[in-house]
Amino acid sequence: MDLDSYIRALPKAELHLHIEGSLEPEMMFALAQRNGVTLPWDSIEATRAAYDFSDLQSFLDLYYAGAAALIHEQDFHDLAMAYFTRAHADGVVHAELFFDPQTHTERGVAFETVLDGLERACNTAQLRFGISSRLIMCFLRHLSEDAGFDTLEQAQPYLGRIHGVGLDSSEKGHPPSKFMRLFARCRELGLHVVAHAGEEGPPAYIVEALDLLKVERIDHGVRAAEDPALVERLARERIALTVCPLSNVKLCVFDRLQDHNLKQLLDAGIKVTINSDDPAYFGGYIGQNYVETAAALQLSRAELKRIARNSLEASFVSDAERAPWLMRLDTMADD
């Protein structure tokens, strides 16, 4: 089996995927037309050409502009179905989808509209592809903690349909400590908790996310490598990092994929996973992230299998749900 086929055959979980970041320009334009929304670009080609980012903020400005095309329940459904179709082709057996309610409710789209559309797609993906999924609601960290509490209140009637919360958007200047009370409340409500940390922000933000927000996984976390004691801690406490290699290169966290520290973190014993973040903006879905990272860092099949195993182990499913995927993974050769 060639490496490409091997990677796609690995049963894997995607744990870091912003559903709004899977909005391809073709769908963005079709939805904008259907909904009478004016986009800041003239054409699909001009949109793609604008995807030349210098840092996280330069991406977020475009990402929020593109999300304005999403209005109706059907739009959120179609968006998520397109993602699941791609994920299935890449061997994803389980996906934990981030969504940003504030990006939509601030534009007058009801919380329920977003949730209904995404959930309907999750149900269809289970039936059509056998992909299981969970929804993780992210708070935008450039907004206030009070705005986060308002969002949690809007989510209250639907918490049985939301598995966890996350923290995303502009990292620098918005440390995890800003959201300590909000995350404590979410934990009290029985929600799983994760946070973006150490993407652009310093290793101290990862420490804060662990100590103050008590997160179960760190999204990105690549800047942990600057703090040897933290690397040792992440390995010892088996904290998974949801690393997104193509995203990191597109947002200039690393100059080239060959410079990425994923293998260094893996070698240090950290539970590293590979994910796509915002695949429509960063040039590849999860399979492409595995393939290009394997080539750039010369990852062996055993290492790729380890990374897929990490993703299944770090997912928020029960052991009973996980067991058949691990059994399937174990049948795959790694030499």
Binding site residues, ligand ADE, CB under 6 A: 18, 21, 56, 63, 168-169, 196, 199, 247, 277-278
Residue number of the CB closest to ligand ADE reads 168
Q: Which is nearer to Zn ion, 125 or 243 (CB)?
A: 243
Which run of H or E residues covers position 257?
none
Q: In whole angstroms, how close is the CB of 196 to Zn ion at the nearest point?
A: 5
Would you call 94 helix, strand, or coil by DSSP? strand
For helices 145-155 and 111-129, the axis angle rounded to 10 degrees is 60
If one asks whether residue 208 binds Zn ion (CB under 5 A), the answer comes out as no
Catalytic member of 73, 96, 199, 200: 199
x/- letters, 264..293, toward Zn ion (CB under 5 A): -------------x----------------
**Which of 68-102 are b and which e, b meaning 16 or more Cβ less than 10 Å from the residue's Cβ?**
bbbbebebbbbbbbbbbebbbebbbbbbbbbbbbb
Q: In whole angstroms, how close is the CB of 143 to ligand ADE at the nearest point?
A: 12
Q: In whole angstroms, how close is the CB of 327 to ligand ADE at the nearest point?
A: 33
Question: Does 112 participate in catalysis according to the annotation?
Answer: no
Q: In whole angstroms, how close is the CB of 294 to ligand ADE at the nearest point?
A: 21
Tokens of 162: 């939301």
Q: How far apart are CA 216 and CA 316, in angstroms?
A: 10
Q: Which is nearer to ligand ADE, 100 or 303 (CB)?
A: 100
Tokens of 51: 């995807």
* Number of chain residues interacting with Zn ion (CB under 5 A): 1
Q: How far apart are CA 234 and CA 242, in angstroms?
A: 12
Q: Which is nearer to ligand ADE, 67 or 299 (CB)?
A: 67
- By CB atoms closer than 10 A (0-12, 13-18, 19+), residue 49 is exposed
Tokens of 10: 């690995």
Residues forming contacts to Zn ion in the complex (CB under 5 A) are: 277
Tell me which residues are annotated as active site.
199
